[in-house]
Structure 1
């Protein structure tokens, strides 16, 4: 496919392509669509709007020409090994990720990582600029590509640009540590609409803009002057919308899977294989220090030690899918988790029975839904999470109306799922009490809570999320550049001097 001959009215820019490379039985290589809410939400839009998806294929030094898969044009952006180490593993996942997750782990600040981040963001922006038709909509996704909107705005002011941040945006006291804090904000403000998971995240972003630039913010609107430097309070400006658009899941597909006889049978088999315990607790996460896996294991171990849970009647299944295994903090976390699991099983297990079943690999969606159906209590103990879609997947899968969700108040999902048992995962005693409450909860109360949770997840699915964001983006496109901006300063003069 010749890029020069193609242009698209809708372009998605994300760190990864929504496909994985596969090798067929006959040895030929091909692609399969990755499971995930984002591609599910955007797939119909991509097809109807003549769309292209720009992203990295997922392996270093992979050079692939643009191709079509399931009616979507895929445009690969290659990264060499050094860029994977500096832009992706370095700046994205060892600088921004810990900083944006409340410094649960200490961020690392290296100038060569930043240089690589700028360079790779420029490559993505250039590719988007070359593909987008005049007046096209470009939707950029996530923390790896925060400079792309500003770079695109410089090259293609005719475009309507959206950005969605899938992870939290930190409070100013943390964000201000970033040596390149102004450059990141400038990049994001190149968008017409900036979406966040939670209202608090949008507020943190607006506060950082006021503190560092002194721009006027009112509600979800930010006035960005078209001139630079001393002319920043000129009457000519553009309005950027920055507000919460909480992401969700394809709830209908999970409900459909949960109704399949083979999945229901698999759920029954899982319980039988575990010896039909009275209670199955379940946690599934990427192996990441933000997920609070250590905290739930500690609470569970103490409940066994206290005798409030019986290891012969209770089983915890912990699925921890591999994540960023070349980053030191993740290697240390895996060692610690596996040592803790071994200690719990050694202290409280017996021949043929283990209180913790720890699984360090991912599973296909059908197996996950079977696990959701087999589990009595879902444990989501994130220390900080933009949303946490696992909580919503569990609820969507419980078509039987049963099951109890224990949910961290520091996950974005807690804003909607108020009928869950909400916890502060740092409060181990509180986590223990919530687990006991869940285990002992009356069936009537379980069903009442799950009914309310399911209503929320079904009404606010991923299709509604994407439609809401794109509608806001189209409004921004029609509004165009604002003129005659009121000439007054931020109400907090101290913020403009930061």
Structure 2
């Protein structure tokens, strides 16, 4: 056991901090933006928690350190690790497979072997800082083998896993040569969380088909092997969300609202601003919305004098060939549409291939009359929820793909099938022409739903399920584990 140990440990591919080096070469750390950090920060502090992950830079071997009251435990990754484990198996095998094979997955044994090695490195780091009976929460598809590795090394631990991306139907998942190993890896957890009911169902079906275990939603019966006792694993949905109160406060700032007004003015004050905000990824349906918008301009249903599309495409995985090809395809389409339909004073599409700070994103949401979320497959899509949270004026229209996890909750959005270009065009026109009273009614409903299920609700719900799993294990005669009271966080009620 290491000299330091913690009762609550989170492990993710990336740490919740970014390393910043100033002009003088001095390094410091700043907290990464994101709802996961916001949701877990009070739990981490109450629990004397530690966060295990990669620091974001290759070949950087760092000692653990404290940041904003959280113990940070870096796991080093080499350039070779990044090529094989991260860009290779995680993002060129699992990512396309789990997103309905929108792009063809690649199956390489050396990628898999490195995925196993890196997952073991993460598991060893977690085991080394976890107190007896600690709660460990493993995050996302890059670390699917970690739960079983921890279970083997530290059977005293209470282990949760949350999959932030979809889990595919068995007909697709069965393509994976290492399908059994992944299933067994996930079944090392006491609770396996997913974004949607369908994802949890897909996982349970894969367990039945591949292992023959008894499943009765949400319980999976895992029989004992050798000296290990039989176990019950909970597999169910916990739809993730955002820091609603924080985003509302941000969008209400006078300087952000003034920036939104300036954005409209800079765009020529068109009647309608449509907005797309995406990581540049083939799952996001960016080309589909560009095609629909281009056809609406071509057939005269829309004019560049009246409607502008702002497309933010944040750079992503630029060393992966399929992503380089996608960028070329998108920029070619943007150039063609602007060349065909733009005028001296009006551009059809304002295309921005870089990231923006949260303040600028909030201003863009306030400036946009129509938000376009046309993902071909998405675990959740938090952009849709951010747009809703920003609109305290109860205006604006959300067009949302039915293939995004957010569509399960945000039923008052205009739901679309992005593959149906004609249907998408009709929905865009409906959004632009929607009467004010209907916009307000829909946005009021959306805002109520988002406020009820913020990111704190998500984390509290998952951790409460883990605590129940601890009691169930004790009732089954499992090892006597320390109680959870020392890290249960009482949150103030949401206003």
1:412 is displaced (CA, Å) by: 0.3
Q: CA RMSD in A?
A: 1.3
- Say which of 242, 254, 257 aligns to 1:264: 257
The match for 2:72 among 41, 61, 74 is 74
2:324 is aligned to 331
**Cross-structure match for 2:306:** 313
**What is aligned with 1:114?**
112
Aligned to 1:488: none
**Cα distance in structure 1, aligned partners of 2:198 and 2:2:** 42
Q: Distance in 2 between matches of 1:161 and 1:93?
A: 25
Are residues 1:431 and 2:424 paired? Answer: yes
For the Cα contact (< 8 Å) 1:238–1:481, is it kept in 2?
Answer: no
Task: Give the drift of 1:345.
Answer: 0.2
What's the CA shift for 1:482?
A: 6.7
The one of 344, 348, 352 equivalent to 2:341 is 348
Selected match of 1:161 from 154, 159, 162: 159
Q: Which runs of 5+ in 1 are unaligned?
A: 485-498
Q: Does 1:10 align with 2:8?
A: yes
Tell me the equivalent position of 2:185.
187
The question of 1:255 aligning with 2:248 is answered yes
Q: Distance in 2 between matches of 1:63 and 1:147?
A: 23
Kindly report structure 1 stretches of 4+ aligned residues shifted beyond 6 Å: none
* Structure 1 position 483, deviation (Å): 4.9
Q: Distance in 2 between matches of 1:135 and 1:63?
A: 28
Aligned counterpart in structure 2 of residue 471 of structure 1, from 461, 464, 469: 464
Match of 1:301 among 278, 294, 299: 294
1:280 positional shift: 0.1
Shift in Å at residue 155 of structure 1?
0.4
Q: Distance in 2 between matches of 1:323 and 1:287?
A: 6
Deviation at 1:313, TM superposition (A): 0.9
Contiguous gaps of at least 5 residues in structure 2 = 478-495
Retained in 2: the 8 A contact 1:237–1:481? Answer: no
Q: Which residue of structure 2 lines up, in the alignment, with residue 415 of structure 1?
A: 408
Contact preservation (8 Å) 1:239, 1:482: no
CA change 1:82–1:27 in 2 (3 A) is closer
2:490 paired residue number: none
**Residues 61 and 136 (structure 1), Cα distance of their counterparts in 2 relative to 1, 3 Å cut:** same
Could you say what secondary structure the match of 1:14 adopts? strand
Q: Distance in 2 between matches of 1:204 and 1:73?
A: 35
Aligned to 2:451: 458
2:445 matched to 1:447? Answer: no
1:406 aligns with 399
- Taking the TM superposition and a 5 Å limit, the aligned residue runs for 1:272-283 are 272-283=265-276
What residue number does 1:99 align with? 97
Structure 1 counterpart SS, 2:235: strand
**Which of 286, 291, 316 pairs up with 2:279?**
286
Q: Deviations over 1:126-167 (max 9, x none)?
A: 011111000000000000000000000000000000000000
Displacement after TM superposition at 1:59 (Å):
1.4
| Number of equivalences | 477
Q: Secondary structure at the match of 2:356?
A: coil
The separation in 2 between residues aligned to 1:108 and 1:250, in whole angstroms, is: 36
Residue number in structure 2 paired with 1:140: 138
Q: Does 2:368 align with 1:375?
A: yes
1:373-414 per-residue CA deviation (whole Å, 9 max, x = no partner) reads 000000000000000000000000001100000000000000
Deviation at 1:310, TM superposition (A): 1.0
* Counterpart Cα distance in 2 of 1:432 and 1:213: 45
